Amino acid sequence: MLPDGRCFLYYARGDREHRGIYVASLDGGEPARIVESMFNAVYASGHLITMRDGVVVTYLFDKESARLTGDIWVADLDRAALTRPMGVESSSARIGLATTFFTAGHQLEPLPNNS
């Protein structure tokens, strides 16, 4: 659920043209795809956090317009002061770690343009 209490994010499977992270409203209307993705996402502190090419990334997300803004950033979890449980390899676990990483005020690094 987004902070307005009416909109929510969800992941839809499908071919590349249709899969991705969508935003929809409890009030109805047409859902909008925010970004093509193979993974779900979480919203935290104005950012959309998900996986891309095996890396946890965060996008600036304008919750009012439900659009991505700005650059894509990557969380360097290997340098984070986090205790990673042994064997945590699922995308949802990595996204959870990134959410903790981000909301704890750690620095993010820009994702290189060639990724």
Predicted confidence band of residue 72 (pLDDT cuts 50, 70, 90): confident
- Quote the percentage of the chain above a pLDDT of 70: 64
103: part of which helix (H) or strand (E)?
helix 91-103
Task: Read off the pLDDT of residues 16-59 as tens digits, 9 standing for 90 and up.
Answer: 999 999 999 999 999 999 999 998 898 888 888 888 877 788 88
Determine, yes or no, domain membership for 1: no
Determine, yes or no, domain membership for 13: yes
| Domain, as residue range, for 67 | 7-110
Determine, yes or no, domain membership for 14: yes
Determine, yes or no, domain membership for 2: no
Please give the pLDDT value at position 60. Answer: 87
- DSSP character string of 54-100: TEEEEEEEETTTTEEEEEEEE--TTTSS--PPTT--SHHHHHHHHHH
Predicted confidence band of residue 115 (pLDDT cuts 50, 70, 90): very low
Structurally, the chain folds into a number of domains equal to: 1
